[in-house]
Amino acid sequence: MIPKLPFFSKKEPIDKSRVYLPDRREFLKISSLIGGGFLLGVNFQCAGPKGETRTFAPNAYLRIASDNTVTIIAHRSEMGTGIRTTLPMVLADELGADWKAVRIEQAVGDEATYGDQNTDGSYSIRMFFEPMRRAGATARHMLRQAAAEQWDLDVSGCDTRDGMVIHESSGQQIPFGDLVERLQQLSIPEEESLTLRSLSDYTLVGKDVPIYDIQEITQGKARFGADLDLPGQQIAVILRSPVVGATIRSYNEEKALQVPGVTQVIKIAGNGLHPGLNKPLEGLAVLADHTWAAMKGREALEVDWDLGDNWDYQCATQMEAMIASTQQEGRLRREKGSVKTAFAGGGKAFENTYRAPYYAHATIEPPAALADYKDDGSIVIWAPTQHPQWARDSVAEALDMDVSRVTVHVTLLGGGFGRKSKPDFVVEAALLSKAIQKPVRVQWTREDDLHHDFYHSHSAQRIKAQLDGSGKLVAWNHHTVFPAIGGTSNAEELHPSDGEMGLGCTDFPYDVPNIRIESHEARAHTRVGWLRSVSNIHHAFAICTMLDEIAEDQRMDPVDYVLSLLGEDRKLSFAEEMKGSYPNYGEAIEEYPWDTARMKAVIRRVAAEAGWEEAINQGKTLGFAAHKSFLTYVACIVEVAEDASGNLIIPEVHYAVDCGIPVNTDRIRSQFEGGAQFATSLALSSAIRFENGQVIQNNFDGYQIIRMPEAPKKIYTHIIESTEKPTGVGEPPVPPFIPALCNALYKLKGKRIYELPIKEGFA
C-alpha cells in the first residue's frame, strides 16, 4: 500500500469547503470539545476528474465557548514546521479572534472525519489556506449577524476584532462568548454571501506569529512520542534483521530473560525481500519493565540469521554499476528536439558524472510509539506520526481488524523529514500490545534509526551539454539513476516513477532547444523512502553546478547566465515533451505552471540582497543556485571562507523565496534557516554506506550532521510579497543550497565538486 503522495500521483485538490452546524451526535464524538458553546464543522471537498464532488467529510472544527475561548482543531501533524500554529492562525485571523484566547487541539487520525492528514510534500498550506479562511469567514459572518440582531443595528456596520464584535459608528462591542446562544439559533450563510478579509486587513497572516507550543517546549512539558506512560505498560526494544530480507533461523532468549526487568521475548515476522513502506522488519522484541532493561536484554539475545539475498549487497559496487549504466541509452522520460543532431553539429561539449550517497533522516527523536490493545478488541495508539491515517490503516491491516477499532493520537514529532510518515514502528507497537494484551511502548535507539531507516537513495547522474559555435546552450542530455521508492514495495520496480523524475529532473525549465532526459535501472536492496525534498536533492546538485561550470567557461556571471537561460517570461507545462505524466506535485499545471518570471524575480532579489556584484568585487567567494520545488521558487547565495586554521566557514547565506502569499513569515524564515543547516549536513558530512547488506554507520559519530560551529553564521531569508496562492516551505530550501555551496567552494578552492558529501579535506 502506497499512500497518496504528491510526487507519486495527482492529488485531489480541495476546490470547495462547506461550513455546517454539526448535530449533537457528532458534537459528542468530538469529545474533547464537549463543554458547550457554539460548534462549527468544515467540509473540505475534493473534485473528481470530471468535476464531480468526490469526498464529503467534515475536516475541521471550531468551537466558541461562553468564556470567550475559541478552540480550533489542528488536523496536520506538527514536526517543526509550525503548521499546528499556522493553519489555526489563518482561521482565527479571518474570524477576528483574540489569538491569546485561541486553544489548539490535535486531531486523531481519522479519514472520515478529517480527510487527508498526510503531513508530507510541503502541501498543508497549499491545500488548506483557502478552506481555513472560508471557515473563519463563515463564523465571522454569523457573529456579526448575531450581534446586529442583539443590538437591532444594521449588520453591515458590524465587524469582528480581538474576539469582539464591534459596531463602529455606535461604539458598541460585545465579546464572542456572549453571543453563543444566539449563534446556535442561526443557520449557515450561503457561500456567496461571505466576504473574505483583504490581505492588508489581516493582523496575523503575513506577520511573525510565535508557535503555539513554545512555552511547553522551553519548560520541558511538550509531549513527544515516548513521553506518555500507561499503567502496566511494557517497553520494547527490538533486534531487527541486519539486512533487508533476512529472516530468523533460530534464536536463544535465555540470557535476555535473565536480565532483571526483562519479561518476555516476542518474534515479529517481516515481509521478506519486499519490505514495504508500512511493515515492520523481521525482528525479536525484548519486552521489559523499563527501557534500560529492554536494551540490555536485546544485547543478550542470540540469533542465527538467514541473511537472504541482500547479504552481499555493497553500495559502492552498485554505484559503479549505476555510473556505467549512464553511459548507455536509458529509458526516455522527456524529449524535445534532437540532442543527437545537436551533438553532431559540433561546438563545445561538457560532460560530467555526479554521485550522491544514501542519506538517513536522523530526526533527533528516534521513532517511538505507544499502543494499548484493549479487552474489547480495540486499540489506541499515541505516536509521532506524519500520517496518522496510514498508521491507522496499517495497524488495522496488520492486526486484521476493522479500521474503526483503531484510534491514532498524534503526539508532537521530534522531527519528521519524511521518516515518520512510514508507520512501521507504529505497527510494531500494535502487534506487541496485542500479543501481550498490555500497553507496549516501542523505543528505537539511534543505532536502530540509522540501520533501519527508509533512506534517501544514492544516485548517479551524467549530464552532457552542448554549446553551438556562438556559445548558446543547444543540447541538454541528463541521465539519472537511483533505486526508486517503488522498489521498497516491489523489487521489480527498477526505474524512478514519473513523480520522482518530476522532482527537479524532467521539469528542467531552461530554454534549450534540444533536451533529452533518460533514466536507468537500479534495484532497491534496502528500504528507500523520501527525505526532505526527495530527488530534488541530487537533481539540483547536478544541474545547478553544471550550469555554473558552463557560465564560467562562457565568461558569464552565473546569475546573469541562469537568468538568460530562463529566457522569455513564460509559463511552462512541458506537456508535449514528457514521456509519461508530470504530476506537478499533485496540482494541475494550468493552476500552478512553471512560471519563469517568478523564478527570475527571486534570482534578481537574492542577488540584490546579497550584494552579489559588490561582494565578488571585494574578493568574497560566493556561489549561486536557483531551484523550484514543491511549487515554491527559491534562489540562494552562499558565501564560504576559511578561518585561520584552514577550516571551512559559511559566513553568510541569502535566500529569496516566492511561496505565494506568505502566511507566517517567522515560520517561513525558520524553515529556510533550518533548511540551510539540513542541507549543509547533506553537502558536507552525512552519508550512509552499505557493506554486506548492512549499514556501517551506527550513531552520530559515523553518521555526522553538522554542529553549531559548522553551521552557516548568518542566514537571511527574503520573502517576495505576493498575492499568488500560497505554497509550502518545508522542503524547498534544501535543493538549491547544496549547489550554491559547491559553486562557492569552487571559487575558493578552484576545484569542481562532482560527489557528495564533499570529500573530507576538500574544504
The footprint of other proteins (CB under 8 A) covers 78-82, 208, 210-211, 213-224, 226-227, 229, 235, 260-261, 290-293, 295-296, 362-366, 412-417, 443, 445-446, 666, 670, 673-678, 699-701, 705, 707-709, 711-715
Q: Which does 220 bind (CB under 5 to 8 A by kind): other proteins, ligand FES, none?
A: other proteins
**Nearest distance, CB of residue 664 and ligand FES, angstroms:** 17
Residue with smaller CB distance to ligand FES, 82 or 660:
82
Minimum Å gap between C-beta 220 and other proteins is 2
Interaction partner, residue 366 (other proteins, ligand FES, none; CB < 5-8 Å by kind): other proteins
Give whichever of 359 and 373 is closer to ligand FES, judged by the CB atom. Answer: 359
Quick one: which of 224, 237, 479 has its CA closest to 363? 224
**What is the pairing mode between strands 714-719 and 406-410?**
unpaired
Build a one-symbol-per-residue string for 149-188: x at contacts with ligand FES by CB under 6 A, - elsewhere: ----------------------------------------
Q: Sketch the per residue contact string, 403 through 422, with ligand FES: x for CB under 6 A, - otherwise.
A: ------------x-------
**Which C-beta is closer to other proteins: that of 366 or that of 693?**
366
28 binds ligand FES (CB under 6 A): no
Helix or strand run (H / E) with residue 460: strand 459-467
> Which residue's beta carbon is nearest to the bound ligand FES?
364
DSSP string of 161-225, one letter each residue: ETTEEEETTTTEEEEGGGGHHHHHHPPPPPGGG--PPPGGG-SSTTB----TTHHHHHTT----T
Contact partners, residue 571, CB within 8 Å, separation at least 6: 593, 594, 595, 596
Q: Please count the residues of this chain forming the interface with ligand FES, following the rule CB under 6 A.
A: 3
Least Cβ distance, residue 226 to other proteins (angstroms): 7
Cell readout for 745 is 567552494
Nearer to other proteins, 211 or 542 (CB): 211
**Binding partner selected for residue 348 from ligand FES, other proteins, none, CB under the kind-specific 5 to 8 Å limit:** none
Nearer to ligand FES, 364 or 597 (CB): 364
Distance (Å, whole) CA 338 – CA 726: 37
Q: Which of 3, 6, 58, 80 binds ligand FES (CB under 6 A)?
A: 80
* Comparison of 362 and 371: residue with beta carbon closer to ligand FES: 362
Give Cα 289 distance to the centre of its chain: 35
Instruction: Find the shortest distance in angstroms from Cβ 441 to ligand FES.
Output: 17
364 binds ligand FES (CB under 6 A): yes
Cβ closer to ligand FES: 77 or 514? 77
Cβ contacts of 21 within 8 Å, gap of 6 or more: 39, 40, 41, 187, 188
Q: Which residues of 492-505 are buried (b: 16+ CB within 10 A; e: fewer)?
A: ebbbbbbbbbbbbb
Partner touching 715 among other proteins, ligand FES, none, CB below 5 to 8 Å by kind = other proteins
Cell numbers that stand for 704 in this block = 555526522
**Whole-Å CA distances, 176 to 32, 95, 165, 181, 720:** 20, 10, 7, 10, 35
Q: In whole angstroms, give the CA distance from residue 739 to residue 657.
A: 17
The dihedral region occupied by 15, where left means phi > 0, alpha psi between -120 and 50, and beta the remainder, is alpha
Residue 557 contact partner, candidates ligand FES, other proteins, none, CB within 5 to 8 A by sort of partner? none
Residues in the chain: 763
| Identity of the residue, 80 or 693, whose beta carbon is nearer to ligand FES in the bound complex | 80
Return the SS3 of 534.
coil
C-alpha cell, 544: 545547478
Q: Name the site residues for ligand FES (rule: CB under 6 A).
A: 80, 364, 415
